[in-house]
Amino acid sequence: MSHQFPAPLPRRALGSTGLDVSCLGLGTVKIGRNEGVKYPAGFQLPDDALVRDILALCRDAGMNLIDTAPAYGSSEERLGALLTQRQDWVICSKVGEEFNAGHSHYDFSAAQVRRSIERSLRRLKTDYLDIVLIHSDGRDEALLRDGECLEALQRCRDAGLLRTIGMSTKTVAGGLLAVEKTDVVMVTFNPDAQEDAAVIGHAHALHKGVLIKKALNSGHAATPHDGARDADPVQRNLDFIFARPGISAVIIGSITPTHLRHNIEAALRATAPF
């Protein structure tokens, strides 16, 4: 079934990586994992038919960016089975975090980085990843300064297993350092969490890619504000985020086509020229 939108989602340069990404990307935690998550309500994992519908809706909207991770349960494997026309997608995955038996475990060793990337390639049924982010455990600066993780990623890039490197950060200082040392940074940014504005500004100045996570505060952005447009928390948050220069794309997860369509329409309004 085809979904009609007034215009395709605009695409933006991902810093100086040479990649162009849709301003809205699909987060896929909910495709593969429903335990140990921070959403306001529990949910069942979607069946294959629903995931296909979601991916078709994304394609019809002009979305080309999809975000996954080994820590997202069966997300990578399911995407590998259900994602078609690989060349049309910019796939972002991660290294460092695993989720087993209800808990996250971290390993940033060079050997594990290589194993993780090779496993992601098998699961996703592809021979390259467009973006690989360090899935930080909170020790952003230590991982970038002292660990072997970044060097291992660079070797994988040199081997053609991935195209560009970054970090999903948890601290402002780590974000600023990630901007200096990598190509892409993924940070939290919304009206209730503005600390990473400095990271976004630094990345913009250095022509680095910026991906936004937790744009809707993990589904908790639901407090009405005054004004007709502000009454919609999704619109309010996306208006706020896209008003900030330097943002390449916002990652939002959804397994409900109605919600996904609403997110797409809100992103179109938020990025429309005045």
Q: What is the pLDDT of residues 152-190, one digit of tens each?
A: 999 999 999 999 999 999 999 999 999 999 999 999 999
For position 5, what pLDDT does the model report?
87
Domain residue limits, the chain: 11-269
Rg of the chain over CA atoms, in angstroms? Answer: 17
Encoding tokens for residue 60?
């019809």
Which SS3 state, helix, strand or coil, does residue 211 take? strand
In the prediction, which pLDDT does 41 show? 74
E runs forming strands in 128-245: 129-135, 162-168, 184-188, 209-213
Distances (CA, A) of 209 to 87, 151, 178, 234: 20, 19, 11, 23
Residue in the structure block whose two tokens are 């913009």? 204
% of the chain at pLDDT higher than 70 = 94
> CB of 63 within 8 A of CB of 25?
yes
What pLDDT is attached to residue 146? 87
Distances (CA, A) of 249 to 155, 220, 246: 26, 20, 9
Distance (Å, whole) CA 192 – CA 188: 10
Per annotation, catalytic residue among 39, 72, 106, 128: 72
Specify the pLDDT at position 184. Answer: 98
- Residue-level pLDDT at 228: 52
128 is catalytic: no
Report the alpha-carbon distance of residue 107 to residue 149 in Å, rounded: 9
Cβ contacts of 190-195, under 8 Å, gap ≥ 24? 190/214, 190/215, 190/216, 190/217, 190/221, 190/237, 190/240, 190/241, 191/221, 191/236, 191/237, 191/240, 192/217, 192/221, 193/217
Q: Are 179 and 203 in contact (CB under 8 A)?
A: yes
Question: What is the residue-level pLDDT of the chain in tens, covering all 274 positions?
Answer: 456 788 999 999 999 999 999 999 999 999 998 887 777 777 889 999 999 999 999 999 999 999 999 999 999 999 999 999 999 999 999 999 999 888 899 999 999 999 999 999 999 999 999 999 999 999 999 999 988 999 999 999 999 999 999 999 999 999 999 999 999 999 999 999 999 999 999 999 999 999 999 999 865 454 444 445 567 999 999 999 999 999 999 999 999 999 999 999 999 999 998 6
- Distinct helix (H) and strand (E) counts, the chain: 10, 12
CATH of domain 11-269: 3.20.20.100
Q: For the whole prediction, is pTM greater than 0.85?
A: yes
What pLDDT was estimated at residue 48?
A: 97
